Amino acid sequence: MQVDSYTDGDVIAITGPPGVGKSCIVDAILHRLSPTKNIAVLAVDPTSPLSGGALLGDRIRLSVLDDKTKSDSIYVRSVATRSSSGSIPSIIRDLASHLLSNSFDLVLIETVGAGQAEMRCAAIANRIVVVEGPARGDGIQAEKAGLLELADLIVVNKADLEGSDKVVNDLSVSLGLTSDAPPIIKTSTVTGEGLDNLSNLITNLEERTSSKRARCRQQLLMAHESILTSNPHFEGILDRMSEEGLALDEALRELNE
Which residues in this chain contact ligand GTP in the complex, by CB under 6 A?
18-24, 59, 112, 157-158, 160-161, 188-190
Structural contact between residues 78 and 114, judged by C-beta atoms closer than 8 angstroms: no
Of the two residues 97 and 157, which places its CB atom closer to ligand GTP in the complex? 157
Of the two residues 67 and 160, which places its CB atom closer to ligand GTP in the complex? 160
Own/partner pairs, 211-216, CB within 8 angstroms, 24+ separation: 211/128, 211/149, 211/150, 211/151, 211/152, 211/182, 212/4, 214/123, 214/149, 214/150, 215/3, 215/4, 215/122, 215/123, 215/125, 215/128, 215/150, 216/3
DSSP per position, 133-155: -S--SS--HHHHTTGGGG-SEEE
Out of 59, 212, 217, 240, the residue judged to bind Mg ion by CB under 5 A: 59
188 binding partner (options ligand GTP, Mg ion, none; Cβ < 5 to 8 Å by kind): ligand GTP
Of the two residues 44 and 185, which places its CB atom closer to Mg ion in the complex? 44
Smallest gap from Cβ 205 to ligand GTP, in A, equals 19
11 binding partner (options ligand GTP, Mg ion, none; Cβ < 5 to 8 Å by kind): none
225 binding partner (options ligand GTP, Mg ion, none; Cβ < 5 to 8 Å by kind): none
**Within 13 Å and on the Cβ side, how many CA atoms surround 27?**
17
Residue 23 binding Mg ion, by CB under 5 A: yes
Q: Which residues of this protein are in contact with Mg ion, per CB under 5 A?
A: 22-23, 59
